[in-house]
Structures are given as C-alpha cells and as structure tokens.
Structure 1
Amino acid sequence: MKLVIAIIKPSRMDAVLEAVTSAGASGVTVTEVRGYGRQRGKTEVYRGAEYEVKLLPKVKLEIAVPSDIVDAVVEAITQTANTGKIGDGKVFVLDLEQALRIRTGDTGAGAIAG
C-alpha cells in the first residue's frame, strides 16, 4: 500500500479528483493549505497599497492506494494538475505500513478499497 500526497493549485482540484477516481482511487482526503516553493509568493494591490503575499493557497490531497495502482494515480495527478506554469505543485509517494477501517475492522488493502 502507498500513500500519495499531492499539493496542487486549487483551480485544478475538481479535475484531479475526477482523474484519480478514474485511475482507481476509492477515497481522497482534501485539505486547504498555504505554502510556497520556487514561486515565492506574489505581489497584490489592496486599496491602492501594494503588499506581498508570501504563502499562496494550495490544496493538499492524501490518497491511500494499493501498490498496483499507484503509478496510474500519480500519472493521473501529474497529467491533470499540470498547467505548465510555476506553482503547479508536487507529488509525494510514501509507504503505508497499515490501514484499518474503523467501522468494519478491515485491515490492509481491504481497508482502503471501495
């Protein structure tokens, strides 16, 4: 089992959710986050005053998947979230040692399957 973590632009969230579901993911946790990388923020104007926004809004997706579909899920995220501009995001893949579905007591891959 793997845990796929993706940090993407909020505007790409709906398309990415649809793509990962089509790739075989049965559940996704979405968190609104803020951060910066190479983009380093941006300058905005509010009531005539210019100020710098250092932390930009992003969306963090956490997707637990069986190891056999992780490549398809990562590819779906990469293809769908890519706008070709700086700030498109990152994808991280971590080993997932254990999963437990609280309601049924299912463990392992059975806990993350639809």
Structure 2
Amino acid sequence: MKKVEAIIRPEKFQSLREKLEEVGINGLTVSEVAGCGQQKGEQGLFRGQSFEIKLVPKVKVEMVVEAEHVDEIIKIVQSTCSTNQIGDGKIFVYSVEDAVRIRTGEAGLQAIL
C-alpha cells in the first residue's frame, strides 16, 4: 500500500476529485493548508495598504491506495492540477506498512477497499 499526498491549488480540487472518482478512487482525506515554496507568497492590498502574504492557501489531498495505482494517480493529479505556473504544488508518495478499519478490525488492503 502507498499513501499519495498532493498539495494543490484550492481551485483545482473539485476537478481533481471528479477525475479520481472516474477511476474508482473515492477514499480521500482533504485538508485546507497554507505554505510557501518557490512561490514565496503574494502581495495583498487592504484599505490602500500593501502587505505581503507569506503563506499561500492550498489544499492537501491524501489517499491510501494499492501500490499499482500510484503511477495512474500521479498522472491524474499532474494533468488536472497543472497550470504551468509556480505554485501548482507537490505530490509525495509514502509506503504504508498497515491499515486497520476501526469499525471491523479488518487490516491491510481490506481496510482500504
């Protein structure tokens, strides 16, 4: 099992969710996050005063999937969320040792299917 974590632009989330559902990926954890990287924040304007926003709002989408689906998911995230601009986000892939469904006690792949 692998955990795929994508940090994306908030406006791209709905289309990503639809594309993932089309290929049968329904189990997601979604968090509103903020961060900065090469984008280094943005300039804001409030009542005529300019200020710097150091952390940019993003959405973190996490899913635990069978290892053979990882390449397909990465392609979907890239094709759906890319604007070819700095700040499109990142994808991280982690190995998952085990998963347990709390309600039934099922473990491993049975817990995530």
Specify the TM-score bucket, using the shorter chain as the normaliser.
Answer: over 0.9
TM normalised by structure 2 equals: 0.96
Offset, 1:3: 0.1
Show the counterpart of 1:11.
Answer: 11
> Is this contact kept in 2: 1:24–1:73, CA < 8 A?
no
- Residue correspondence of structure 1 range 47-66 to structure 2 within 5 A: 47-66=47-66
> Is this contact kept in 2: 1:5–1:91, CA < 8 A?
yes
In 2: Cα distance, 1:73 partner to 1:24 partner: 11
In 2: Cα distance, 1:23 partner to 1:83 partner: 22
> Is this contact kept in 2: 1:32–1:58, CA < 8 A?
yes
2:12 is equivalent to residue 27 of structure 1: no
Q: Deviations over 1:47-89 (max 9, x none)?
A: 0000000000000011100111111111111110111111000
Per the alignment, in what secondary structure is the counterpart of residue 85 of structure 2?
coil
Offset, 1:105: 1.2
In 2: Cα distance, 1:22 partner to 1:72 partner: 12
Q: Letter of the aligned partner of 2:35 in structure 1?
A: G
Q: Deviations over 1:71-112 (max 9, x none)?
A: 111111111011111100000000010001111111111111
> Is this contact kept in 2: 1:23–1:69, CA < 8 A?
no
In 2: Cα distance, 1:97 partner to 1:26 partner: 21
Aligned-residue identity in percent: 44
In 2: Cα distance, 1:53 partner to 1:31 partner: 20
TM normalised by structure 1 equals: 0.95
Per the alignment, in what secondary structure is the counterpart of residue 43 of structure 1?
strand
> Which consecutive residues of structure 1, in runs of 5 or more, have no partner in the other structure?
none
Q: Which runs of 4 or more aligned residues in structure 1 lie more than 6 Å from their structure 2 counterparts after TM superposition?
A: none
Q: Letter of the aligned partner of 1:3 in structure 2?
A: K
> Is this contact kept in 2: 1:3–1:95, CA < 8 A?
yes
Query: How many residues are aligned here?
Result: 113
